[in-house]
Structure 1
Amino acid sequence: MTINCKGQLIDLTIPKVMGILNLTPDSFYDGGVYKNNADILKQVDKMLNEGADFIDIGAYSSRPNAAHITEKEELQRLLPIIKLLTDAFPDVLISVDTFRSEIAKQSINAGACMINDISAGKMDENMLTTIAELKIPYIMMHMKGTPQNMQQNVRYEHLMKEILFYFSERIAAARTLGIVDVIVDPGFGFSKTTAQNYELLKNLELFKMLEKPLLVGFSRKSMIYKPLHTSAAQALNGTTVLNTLALQKNATILRVHDVKEAKECIELTQQLNL
């Protein structure tokens, strides 16, 4: 199982790590932490040295009830940082977390290689055609509604059946346009209660039927710290536990704030396959 990033075939037979770089002031865990270029370069250098295969940059907060920002503001946050990182780390593989097709196009032209879309093309009707034109890997996530109202959209008749149907429909739409490299993200924490998140994790191996790489993002989310009655700052150990379980259920990319610990999860679970 491979994806093509800038002409480089990335083998997903061994799971990969995607390090998170939030450029937003209001993200739930690290919002506003990276305020200047020096801080950003230091953090990305750290993630790459710890073994990150991709760096996922987000400039639009998708946490519950996040503030809406304009395309112009999103671009102003993103484009200078893409240039900063590609100049400093010429081989870096940058994923851009956006649901807007114009942001996607300009980000790829600036040096990114992959788009990570929380809406799977449902929040911008031009997204799938744009991805097809750009011929890049595309991460499509499951969510109902928008970041502003997703936590009011948690009713399901049959959670797994509905999510798998959602992906089969979105993958078919992508395939019709000639999009080859599709990665699916079940959307832990998006339009799901804590109990639903754990039902999803319990049945994660069912995603094998989609025959696509599987990305999971648990990192320091409330599904970890609420049952433990702690906080995002104290949720690293819980993140490691869930990442390990997901790897045993065929996850191929871990999207995380803490790269070193995620890389260790992969290295140790790989020992089971020796």
Structure 2
Amino acid sequence: MKAKGIFTHLSKLSANKKGLTLIEVIVSIGILAIVTGPFLGTIILSTRNNAYSEQVLKASELSQTVMEEIKSKPDFLDIEAVSEADAKTTDYKEYLMEDDYRVMYKIIKKEGTISSLSGTYNFPEISDIPDSNLNFSVNSGNVYLNRVSYNLNFELVPVNYFIDISEASGICTYKFYDEKGSYFQTAELLNVTETDPIKIKIEYLNGSEDIFKLNVNLNKVSENRKVIFYVVNDEGDSLQIKNVGTRPFYQFDEVGTNCEEYYNVLFKIELIVEYKGQELNKMLSYVKKIR
């Protein structure tokens, strides 16, 4: 009897001890929830913000990539551009859909509206065109300048060439170099009078259709002086000439009596990037096409 009583008493103590431990656990969980609650909310909000930041960054990268791609497509600009009068009633078009990101565009042609970027030039009859101040010729995979040849391709990829023209005290000079910044020629342009335009001739020989990528910068040329590129016998439209400065130039294609009044066109490109229907990025840029 005595042993049974001791056993019963121990069992009661054990039961009380278990109940007390459960209460302690419940209280501890409650305290932990109270203490960590605000921090948990902060962690969740931070996670959401990080995800949103990544989405915005991705949208920004896409808009930059697409903008540069559209700028490099002159034919696409011509075909897709709408007039300013039609721009308000023209919807954005889809250009790209990638991983729930949607890139849309609208291109507006601003022709002859900004005097500093647009103008007309009536070219003379071919018989009246005097000797040019600088002559390029393209033939058999090379471009020639002052009888010096340069390869048009490196490992089957067209090389980007650059020409900067400057003017100081009535003296005009040029720098011709490649995309690596290697200067090939730097010299004065001869026979340039105070009022005459600078005339640069690019002639394709023997039916050549080699791509010649030429980037032109005229920022240091006097505002009053025109710069004209005469393009001869480019039957394959292989010359890729681009204005990388802010001063316009004039391009005269296929020298003949029927080529007159080429002009500058300014394209306004608008991009919108959405992620799952939510607008995350909007970009606006301008590009000139000198024709």
Q: Same fold (TM over 0.5)?
A: no
By percentage of residues, which structure has more helix? 1
**TM-score using structure 2 length:** 0.27
By percentage of residues, which structure has more strand? 2
Q: From the CA coordinates, give the structure whose radius of gyration is larger.
A: 2
**TM-score using structure 1 length:** 0.28
